[in-house]
Amino acid sequence: MEQYRYGKHAVEASIRSGKVKKIFLLTHFKDADLLSLITAKQLSVERVEDSRLTALAQSTHHQGIVASVMPFNYTDLNAFLQTIQPVTNPLIVLLDGIEDPLNLGSMIRTAVGFGVDGLIIKKDRQVDVNATVAKIASGALDYLPIIQVTNLSQTILTLKNHRFWFVATALIDAQDYRAVDYQGPIGLIVGNEGDGISRLVLEHADFKVKIPIEKLNSFNAATSLAIMLSEVHRQRFPLKK
């Protein structure tokens, strides 16, 4: 199946990474910087009407540009583990059933911004890396290894054999997320937008944490991850007085 990326930032990132096969531009597309980049890379270009771009992107938010790209390649777990062996304090994120591509795209961008070493998602009952995810990630896809696994619980056990400790978001029997020491190899687990983390996965967590919130039950998945990563970063890189 043909894969597409749409939106200026997502397409520009795909062009720079050498993953674009063809560019589709709105008839009156005039972004000089992008046009210059497309010319420099000698990419095939087709000018089309808005309706065609919308059909290719399956979205009206294409910003006048769509790219046909090479299939997204997930990273192999074993290969990933070899690359992070030399890392002193590796940080990974595990997502248990994120279904909204907007959430996943936002999480990828946030993870890159906070220096996460890898992202692990499930093959089933989990949104894939698609055009919408790439659009929201705004170019961050090329900076984060994404591993797709069949069994998240088994993957956690494998990672524990590689020194990782796991911190999972939960609402019951959980401590304040700021009370955990995030030094060392850490995996943050965030669950489905509605049901949270599945019971089997939660049982493998070393720490269950909650984020204090007023007037609401919980933050959404993408916001929860951003808050957690902010605390990890604060502990690992304290302000120098």
37-53: per-residue pLDDT in tens?
Answer: 999 999 999 999 999 99
Same domain, 54 and 81: no
Domain boundary among 69, 91, 126: 69
Task: Give a yes or no: residue 241 inside a domain.
Answer: no
Average model confidence (pLDDT) across the chain: 94
Task: Give the tens place of pLDDT for each residue, 144-157.
Answer: 999 999 999 999 99
Q: pTM of this prediction?
A: 0.90
Amino acid occupying residue 219: F
CATH of the domain at 60: 3.30.1330.30
Task: Give a yes or no: residue 200 inside a domain.
Answer: yes
Q: Are 159 and 182 in contact (CB under 8 A)?
A: no
Task: Give the tens place of pLDDT for each residue, 163-197.
Answer: 999 999 998 899 999 999 999 999 999 998 888 89
Residue 65: in which H helix or E strand, if any?
strand 65-69
Same domain, 121 and 163: yes
Tokens of 34: 């992008």
Q: b/e per residue, 104-134, with b = 16+ CB within 10 A?
A: bbbbbbbbbebebbbbbbbeeebbebbbbbb
Domain residues for 46?
Answer: 3-69
Same domain, 127 and 222: yes
How far, in Å, CA of 106 to CA of 230, rounded?
14
How far, in Å, CA of 208 to CA of 203, rounded?
9
Same domain, 198 and 130: yes
Same domain, 218 and 104: yes
Q: How many domains does the chain have?
A: 2
Same domain, 29 and 99: no
Same domain, 90 and 182: yes
Task: Give the tens place of pLDDT for each residue, 112-145.
Answer: 999 999 999 999 888 999 999 999 998 899 899 9
CATH of the domain at 87: 3.40.1280.10
Instruction: Write the burial class of residue 199 (CB in 10 Å: 0-12 exposed, 13-18 middle, 19+ buried).
Output: exposed
How far, in Å, CA of 156 to CA of 159, rounded?
5
